[in-house]
Structure 1
Amino acid sequence: MSSRRTTAITGSLLTASFSAVMIFSFSAGADDQGPMSGKGGKVVDEAPPGVKLTTLLPEKISVDNSSQKTAITATVKNGGNEESGEIRLLVVGFDGLAVKGVAGCSEITKKDLPEGSNSGFACAIDNLAAGKSKSYDVDATFDVKKQGKICLPVQDAAGEKTFWQQGPVPFGANNPSPNAPATPLLLGTDNSPVTPGSDELPKTGPADKVLPLGAAGAALISAGAAGLWWTHRRPQRRES
């Protein structure tokens, strides 16, 4: 075999190997949302003895600038030493962030959505054992020309008590590039997109709310310096 032919074959193999590495790296990166965080979470109603419910969201997500699509992992965890019993997790979108689907969960009808939200899904959980967690794949869109928030309340099965609520917490970027193929967004950061001819972002909806769907009327709850609002609607229980 001539040295020229050997060089050509070696070059082809190196090119193929490099391409394979690039494809693998991109695929892995697309699903890698980094560390998870409970930022923006708070206890609302006291959980049953021995039950400690919390939620986690990825610290970073990536939005496709052409389709506005993004993927988010929502996790609910029981950090206590007793089983949770029947509970439900809500995944609710605000402003520029719209929840399009949550695997294994039911869409909340428009009339039953929490005030100020644009979309939401309810995930029924029969029981969450002590020390266990359950994660859900969330399909969403994010209009990077707006601010966007997500909220994860954890309630009893009837929606009458909210044991934990993360958010509404924003995803955003301080300095996004409008010409990039994707925009990376960080949890707990207000979105500040570059919008020609505009120095201010459109602001819609309340900034800090408690979203249990089950309060029997509106009531302002005092929690330090922040006011937490209850919604007016009571949810319909889903038949199994």
Structure 2
Amino acid sequence: MSARRTTTIAGSLVAASFSAVMILSFTAGADDQGPGSSKGGKAVDKAPAGVELTTLLPKKISVDNGSEETAITATVKNEGTADSGPIRLWVVGFDGLTVRNVPGCSPIAEKDLPEGSNSGFSCSLDGLAAGASKSYDVDATYDLGRTGKICLPVQNGDGSKTFWQQGPVPFGTTNPSPNAPATPLLLGTDNKPVAPGGDELPRTGAGRDVLPLAAAGGALVAAGAAGLWWSQRRPRRPQEG
């Protein structure tokens, strides 16, 4: 193989490795929560005639591994045939999931939080027409070293009745990825916390240094560059004749 051809192949490896790293980074950072789900929800107190209230949570969320921040869309919907009248939606966090803010809603005082919860906001509505829905952007954090749950109760205006409650339902993953830009979590899945040393590849030989997963993309690029360097440094055979 000629030096020129070897150089061309090595350069292609570098380009391909760089493209792979870029694609993986973009995919991990994508904020696609998917369609909403009422998983873990149930009717509690009987709602007024013609009123059928439910809630929806995204089927998946993404937690930033550096800041532990995540965004969740919480939706309340009236699937009945009559206006709901005054209602309020609570957005409550448990364990490793902490609700930091819900624009347009009021924080729930610590003494009024449901037992076992760590944070919550109350969102009041004058009424929800038949077939209408209202969505809220939930700013939260998720400690990936713990399990985490969210709960969405829907009450009447004075809080004396709970017409519907979704959760506490978990978000989690059975395959933590601590060195990726973000970790995707699925609704209804118990989180498997990151174990000590879980961010390292296994050793492949005695005394061999462990390679962090985050360096894998860079290693691909370095491998291509090393191939180029090796091809240029490789001694040529003396010509015969």
TM-score under structure 2 length normalisation = 0.70
- AA of the residue aligned to 2:47: A
8 Å Cα contact 1:152/1:165 also seen in 2: yes
In 1, the alpha carbon distance for the partners of 2:189 and 2:50 equals: 33
State the partner residue of 1:232: none
State the partner residue of 1:230: none
Give structure 2 stretches of 5+ with no counterpart.
Answer: 1-18, 199-241
8 Å Cα contact 1:175/1:193 also seen in 2: no
CA displacement at 1:139 relative to structure 2: 0.1
In 2, the alpha carbon distance for the partners of 1:188 and 1:90 equals: 19
CA displacement at 1:111 relative to structure 2: 1.1
Answer yes or no: is 1:98 the counterpart of 2:98: yes
State the partner residue of 1:138: 138
State the partner residue of 2:123: 123
1:179–1:133 CA distance, 2 compared to 1 (3 A):
same
In 2, the alpha carbon distance for the partners of 1:131 and 1:78 equals: 5
Answer yes or no: is 1:54 the counterpart of 2:58: no
State the partner residue of 1:87: 87
In 2, the alpha carbon distance for the partners of 1:107 and 1:119 equals: 8
SS at match of 2:48: coil
In 2, the alpha carbon distance for the partners of 1:26 and 1:35 equals: 21
In 2, the alpha carbon distance for the partners of 1:44 and 1:64 equals: 35
- AA of the residue aligned to 1:143: D
- AA of the residue aligned to 1:93: G
In 1, the alpha carbon distance for the partners of 2:162 and 2:30 equals: 33
State the partner residue of 1:168: 168
In 1, the alpha carbon distance for the partners of 2:171 and 2:35 equals: 14
Listed one character per residue, the Cα deviations across residues 90-110 of structure 1 (whole Å, up to 9, x for unaligned) are: 000000000000010000011
- AA of the residue aligned to 1:178: P
In 2, the alpha carbon distance for the partners of 1:44 and 1:164 equals: 5
SS at match of 2:74: strand
Name which one, 1 or 2, has greater alpha-carbon Rg: 2
State the partner residue of 1:38: 38
In 2, the alpha carbon distance for the partners of 1:31 and 1:63 equals: 10
- AA of the residue aligned to 2:141: T
Listed one character per residue, the Cα deviations across residues 207-231 of structure 1 (whole Å, up to 9, x for unaligned) are: xxxxxxxxxxxxxxxxxxxxxxxxx
SS at match of 1:45: coil
In 2, the alpha carbon distance for the partners of 1:179 and 1:163 equals: 42
In 2, the alpha carbon distance for the partners of 1:191 and 1:31 equals: 19
State the partner residue of 2:76: 76
8 Å Cα contact 2:74/2:135 also seen in 1: yes
In 2, the alpha carbon distance for the partners of 1:145 and 1:110 equals: 24
State the partner residue of 1:181: 181
- Residues 17-36 of structure 1: pairs in structure 2 closer than 5 A: 30-36=30-36
CA displacement at 1:197 relative to structure 2: 7.4
Listed one character per residue, the Cα deviations across residues 190-217 of structure 1 (whole Å, up to 9, x for unaligned) are: 000231179xxxxxxxxxxxxxxxxxxx
- AA of the residue aligned to 2:63: V
In 2, the alpha carbon distance for the partners of 1:33 and 1:178 equals: 20
* Identity in percent: 76
In 2, the alpha carbon distance for the partners of 1:182 and 1:171 equals: 14
SS at match of 1:111: helix
Answer yes or no: is 1:156 the counterpart of 2:156: yes
In 2, the alpha carbon distance for the partners of 1:99 and 1:30 equals: 21
CA displacement at 1:178 relative to structure 2: 1.4
8 Å Cα contact 2:171/2:187 also seen in 1: yes
In 2, the alpha carbon distance for the partners of 1:150 and 1:51 equals: 24
8 Å Cα contact 2:144/2:194 also seen in 1: no
Output the aligned Cα RMSD: 2.1
Greater helix fraction, Structure 1 or Structure 2: 2
8 Å Cα contact 1:108/1:122 also seen in 2: yes
